[in-house]
């Protein structure tokens, strides 16, 4: 969606008393006079103008609404537009051809059933909430007269799975070379999957034995530099010997974008089925806490708040538990 600003431009060398609506389209700037000198009345005029300019063709589909909503959110500078776009992608693929009025309970439940073949109810819940937000936006913009009810499955309880050192080593030994590199980075840096897959060799400081993780998106990490311990340095050094791509995690000379097949094979060979890639972050934090690290240490590693880390990982801290039980006296 285009961004419409309210301004009083300079015309013939003088600041206009009348407010104008300005916007850009196809690389060119445009403006339209509101005819108002009162800013409040000009704002009302702008709202009506935007509604008229952005009104979709009759029968706007869910796909068109999702695209316009995402464009508007990007214009507003939301923290992570990629996440919103990712959540709306399957919505557009399955429900995109429908008009909002046609989103009845059977259609929505059909969406749930289709997505359950690949993802959890928690993921489906997030996707349905993204669709709700897009439809509510369309209603505010007067694209649609009413917002259909979008039923969302109850999200599953948060996973609490973490690996023992023996389990991690079993997976590591069973992994293909590119997955082995990924697992080492995941455990010893606590970074998220995409940050690791985006990592290039020029981000590794061999002299200081550390990694500068790429800063992407509008949400900048508080932990861009992570020192390597001996185990990670060895894993990276081994991977560097056969590197054939600018990306650290690569296969056949290309960046790895997904490794579902390799991961499933690895789990079967290791005899560990109830584990996901995302469990590596929990495992990293649990090791930090269990080995005497503070909640602040784990928060630094995970790029999270101390309060969040304490809430999720307090049970791993023996020292914290001892400090509590010592206070139980008669």
Residue-wise pLDDT tens digits, 142-192: 888 899 999 999 887 766 788 899 999 999 999 999 999 999 999 999 888
Q: If pLDDT is split at 50, 70 and 90, which confidence band does 78 have?
A: low
Asked whether residue 227 is domain-assigned, the answer is yes
Asked whether residue 155 is domain-assigned, the answer is no
Range of the domain at 47: 4-54
- The whole-number pLDDT of residue 219 equals 46
pLDDT of 221 over the 60 cut: no
Q: If pLDDT is split at 50, 70 and 90, which confidence band does 217 have?
A: very low
Q: What is the dihedral of CA 120, 121, 124, 129, to 10 degrees?
A: -140
- The whole-number pLDDT of residue 174 equals 95
Q: How far apart are CA 58 and CA 249, in angstroms?
A: 47
pLDDT tens-digit map of 39-68 = 888 888 887 787 667 666 567 899 989 988
Q: How far apart are CA 137 and CA 140, in angstroms?
A: 5
Asked whether residue 92 is domain-assigned, the answer is yes
25: exposed, middle or buried (Cβ count in 10 Å: 0-12, 13-18, 19+): exposed
- The whole-number pLDDT of residue 320 equals 61
> H or E element: which one contains 113?
helix 105-115
- The whole-number pLDDT of residue 234 equals 93
Q: For residues 195 and 279, is the Cβ–Cβ distance under 8 A?
A: no
- The whole-number pLDDT of residue 250 equals 93
Q: What does the mean pLDDT of the chain come to?
A: 85
pLDDT of 330 over the 80 cut: no
54, 76, 93 - which closes a domain: 54
Q: If pLDDT is split at 50, 70 and 90, which confidence band does 128 have?
A: very high
Same domain (yes/no): 220, 318: yes
pLDDT of 311 over the 50 cut: yes
pLDDT tens-digit map of 296-308 = 888 888 878 888 8
Same domain (yes/no): 238, 321: yes
pLDDT of 215 over the 70 cut: no
Q: Round to the nearest angstrom and report the end-to-end CA distance of the chain.
A: 67
Indicate the range of 44-53, 194-203, 205-214, 232-241 predicted with least confidence. 44-53
> By three-state DSSP, how is residue 303 classified?
coil
DSSP β-ladder status, 5-7 and 20-25: antiparallel
Instruction: State how many domains the chain has.
Output: 3
For 246, list phi and psi in degrees, rounded to 5.
-70, -20
What percent of the chain has a predicted confidence (pLDDT) above 70? 87
Asked whether residue 129 is domain-assigned, the answer is yes
Q: For residues 195 and 248, is the Cβ–Cβ distance under 8 A?
A: no
Same domain (yes/no): 175, 316: yes
- The whole-number pLDDT of residue 133 equals 94
Indicate the range of 100-109, 140-149, 212-221 predicted with least confidence. 212-221
Asked whether residue 152 is domain-assigned, the answer is no
Q: How far apart are CA 158 and CA 174, in angstroms?
A: 27
Q: What is the mean pLDDT of residues 64-79?
A: 75
Q: Find tokens 């923290």 and name the residue.
A: 79
- DSSP calls for 186-252: HHHH---HHHHHT-BGGGEETTTTEEE----SSS--S--EEE--HHHHHHHHHHHHT--SSBSSEET
pLDDT of 75 over the 80 cut: no
Same domain (yes/no): 43, 121: no
Asked whether residue 147 is domain-assigned, the answer is no
Q: If pLDDT is split at 50, 70 and 90, which confidence band does 322 have?
A: low
166: exposed, middle or buried (Cβ count in 10 Å: 0-12, 13-18, 19+): exposed
Same domain (yes/no): 90, 127: yes
Indicate the range of 36-40, 128-132, 263-267 predicted with least confidence. 36-40
More confident residue, 111 or 83: 111
């Amino acid at each position: 969606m285009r961004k419409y600003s309210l301004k009083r431009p300079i015309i013939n060398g003088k600041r206009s008393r009348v407010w104008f609506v300005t916007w850009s389209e196809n690389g060119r700037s445009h403006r339209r006079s509101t005819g108002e000198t009162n800013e409040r009345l000009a704002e009302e005029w702008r709202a009506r103008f935007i509604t008229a300019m952005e009104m979709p063709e009759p029968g706007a589909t869910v796909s068109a609404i999702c695209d316009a909503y995402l464009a508007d959110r990007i214009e507003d500078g939301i923290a992570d537009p990629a996440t919103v776009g990712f959540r709306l992608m399957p919505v557009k693929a399955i429900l995109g051809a429908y008009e909002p009025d046609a989103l009845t309970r059977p259609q929505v439940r059909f969406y749930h059933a289709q997505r359950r073949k690949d993802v959890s109810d928690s993921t489906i819940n997030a996707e349905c909430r993204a669709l709700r937000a897009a439809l509510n936006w369309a209603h505010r913009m007067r694209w649609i007269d009413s917002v259909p009810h979008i039923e969302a499955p109850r999200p599953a309880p948060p996973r609490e799975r973490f690996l023992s050192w023996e389990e991690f080593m079993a997976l590591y030994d069973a992994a293909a070379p590119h997955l082995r590199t990924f697992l080492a980075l995941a455990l010893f840096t606590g970074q998220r999957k995409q940050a690791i897959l985006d990592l290039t060799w020029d981000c590794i400081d061999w002299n200081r034995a550390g990694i500068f993780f790429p800063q992407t998106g509008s949400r900048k990490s508080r932990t861009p530099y992570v020192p390597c311990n001996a185990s990670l340095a060895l894993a990276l050094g081994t991977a560097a010997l056969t590197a054939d791509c600018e990306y650290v995690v690569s296969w056949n000379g290309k960046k790895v974008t997904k490794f579902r097949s390799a991961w499933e094979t690895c789990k079967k060979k290791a005899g560990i089925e109830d584990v996901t890639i995302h469990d590596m972050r929990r495992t990293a934090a649990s090791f930090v806490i269990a080995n005497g690290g503070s909640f602040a240490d784990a928060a630094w590693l995970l790029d999270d708040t101390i309060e969040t880390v304490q809430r999720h990982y307090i049970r791993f801290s023996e020292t914290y538990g001892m400090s509590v039980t010592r206070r139980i006296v008669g």
